[in-house]
Chains A and B, each alone.
Chain A
């Protein structure tokens, strides 16, 4: 039997990254991702890895670009305002097709906002932080164990598709403690990094890592190539968890910490005879569109619950093609909705639906 440890989400994800072969971490202090950097600072020097506290988030993400371009598994971690600063680098990393993993332990915004958990960076994450036609692969864990499992996946997906992967968590998942085990690391077949700028050793033509294409048709072709990858990712990688969803009349849609609260609300609604269910997107980009659409057959209403003013709700409406009414309930700024509040929303919709 594999060993279970009691760990904070931020520390568990750091340990998972190291087990996934990440030996290079570049970061800049910010709350509430603090424990992740602290764990890396402690562990990396002991295992021959790099922990470097950069002069800024901007520098940190560019160090990630350099190490990733050199072929290493590399990670950075931040919280909302810091991700804004990393956006420039992420755009270049996408354009240069360099793999890396970026952790966002979300807090409230806009601006300096607050340091309590929030989910208000959904648009930023899923629409691609940074300029240009681009996406990150965005994974949304809802437990400490899933932080670990998705961290393993994140490194593999980044290498497989040569695209940055963001793990979109929040201060609640980052700082809560849960039992976790590290044994179930998957082993994907991954391509050689023959593109890496690691010195040609006089054995091949020089490799170039670059996002500049001054001729418009060449840039268009390059972007189309990237979007071909995105098509494959949409087909193969979109994931969600369905909980009591098959017969649900009211289907909640929530990710991450909000999904945990929704599960409780669904149970409470079922106890009161209301057929509620939950669809929990695990990949936010690609959004599990087909899975969600399939529920429009039997569901009378969607209720999207977010720790924001309503961002994912747009993807729910698009994926459902407006076949079913979509309601929204959210708290923001670091306020966490209670299951009772969510239940109230379910009962209100159920009352109206009758």
Chain B
């Protein structure tokens, strides 16, 4: 019988710790499918964050390093400089990448570090129980913005792809979503392009994936996906913000 669907080789056969309805699992799978299709698992090193994906080293079948909070791009830089022919990617959440690790994020962009950054934006700190993130939307209620994020006192959400697109060393910056089968297909194409650009030595590639957090948003999984579509995509428009090999802002 023909096999039409199976676990990607680059994803280990283990249960993950992610909450029901969380889209980390989908994003893991997309990254793993891309690694399989590019046949690069044996020469790939993953650098995983502090946050919900902290244990991703147990899920990806490639070699993996667990970085200090926010430092994954710096750790990935070290790996890539030591082993330039390896494929190196970071997998980071919004607190990790856009708050404590902002400097590291900006500087891999400006250096044009030839690595790939998978940025999972769910507008909240999930692992620590739902605090306000740098990407939390205006008015969004979290544990540390219990009256809704007031941009006057708590600042504005940061749009990472737009910022990274301004940096000369960024080769590819795209924002995608995984809220529908169609969106998942587009997300995979973006992730694949990001890895391909790395293989071609073009510089930094970053894919921001809008993700859901039903647990900390206090929603059902379906409601959460709807919130990604209606609320998050309004503030964080999907699209390609930079592509040195193609058209911009498709």
Contact = CB atoms under 8 A, between A and B. Distances in A.
B125 to A, nearest CB: 17
A63 B81 contact: yes
A208 B66 contact: yes
A89 interface: yes
B54 interface: yes
B75 A66 contact: yes
A199 interface: yes
A88 B68 contact: yes
A139 interface: no
A210 B57 CA distance: 8
Contacts of B44: 199
Nearest to A52: B81
B74 A198 contact: no
Contact of B65 (A50, A59, A202, A210): A210
B45 interface: yes
B74 A59 contact: yes
Interface centre among A52, A66, A211, by most B CB within 10 Å? A66
Instruction: Give the secondary structure class of A's interface.
Output: mixed
Interface in A9-65: 24, 26, 50, 52, 54-56, 58-60, 62-65
Given A56-B103, A59-B104, A199-B63, A24 B83 contact: no
Given A207-B63, A210-B57, A198 B75 contact: no
Nearest to B84: A50
Which range holds the interface residue count of chain A? 35 or more
Given A199-B44, A202-B42, A210-B66, A66 B82 contact: yes
Contact of B64 (A59, A64, A92, A209): A209
A197 B67 contact: no
A144 interface: no
A173 B79 CA distance: 32
A65 B75 contact: yes
Point out which of B78, B79, B81, B83 has the most chain A C-beta atoms below 10 A from its C-beta: B78
Contacts of B75: 62-63, 65-66, 69
B225 interface: no
B47 to A, nearest CB: 7
Contacts of A206: 12, 60-64
A307 interface: no
A252 interface: no
Contacts of B45: 70, 197-199
Given A198-B63, A210-B66, A66 B74 contact: yes
Interface in A200-217: 200-203, 206-212
Contact of B63 (A59, A88, A200, A212): A200
A210 B45 CA distance: 13
A64 B65 CA distance: 13
Contacts of A88: 68
Nearest to A100: B78
A71 interface: yes
Nearest to A205: B61
B189 interface: no
Contacts of B47: 66
B74 to A, nearest CB: 4
Given A58-B71, A197-B64, A206-B61, A69 B43 contact: no
Contacts of B71: 58-59, 62, 65, 89
Given A66-B81, A206-B63, 15 more contacts: A52-B77, A56-B103, A59-B77, A60-B74, A66-B75, A69-B65, A69-B75, A71-B82, A88-B68, A197-B64, A197-B79, A198-B45, A199-B44, A206-B60, A211-B66
